[in-house]
Amino acid sequence: MEAFRPNRISMSNLEIAAQTGLNRPTVARLTYTLTKLGYLKQEKSKYRLSWGALMLVNPLLANAKILHIARPSMQKLAQDVGGTVSIGVIDRLNFVYLETSRVNENVWTSQDLGTIGPLLPAAIGHALCAQLDDAELELKLRQMRRSSPELWAKYSDAFVDGVTSCKSRGFSVVRGTWIPGTHSAGVPLLRDKNGECFAMNCRVPIFRLSPNQIEDEVAPRLISLAANVRNQLAFVMP
């Protein structure tokens, strides 16, 4: 199911096998079962995700008070700076966006719920991994080096610097090296009782920013937003 993407909404068993590395008979058994369960829909020889797949997400989001609390402030910051503000979590070597607020205009393709990306080059990846303990972070670094050698060669130094910056200054900044034409700030948000790390980022087109605005204005506002969310969450959590 993870093999489906916005640019791959419909795939045959052979295409799914190529994307997942599973053999075709295994894929055929899985697509048959998932179709019967209502998670996939078959259209001739191809499959796509069915609306039933949303049932897998609803239990996760139903109790996500953090999203309800953060949403108004995220939208205000997005409008004020003319960018996007997102909350994400760690999924293995990737981040996953749980919520995104944006300006009401199509400046560029914006991330939504479920969008994933690699931790290594992203400001939100720095902020998420800054909340890991030393042993967890060392394991994550080894996994990144082994699984993504090209990304590791290009972004590992900046990743380590970004994690250090989040721990010392409370934020990390990525200047156009990952998403061209934009600067991003990432801040740690919280680690919950289950060990899940949450972080926030704000991404703004470069043409809307003065030279140091991402560090001097956007990052401090994002830090303040995260602190406000934590404070509000403390009042509503049992």
Taking only the tens place, the pLDDT of each residue in 166-217 is 999 999 999 999 899 999 999 999 999 889 999 999 999 999 999 999 999 9
Q: Which CATH class is domain 11-53?
A: mainly alpha
Handedness of CA 136, 142, 146, 150 (dihedral sign): positive
Taking 50 as the threshold, does the pLDDT of residue 107 lie above it?
no
Domain ranges (residues) in the chain: 11-53, 63-236
Q: Are strands 197-205 and 84-91 parallel, antiparallel or unpaired?
A: antiparallel
- Of the ranges 19-33, 41-55, 87-101, which one carries the lowest mean pLDDT score? 41-55
- Which residues are CB-contacts of 93 (< 8 A; sequence separation ≥ 6)? 118, 119, 120, 140, 143, 144, 147, 148
Domain spanning 63-236: CATH superfamily: GAF domain (3.30.450.40)
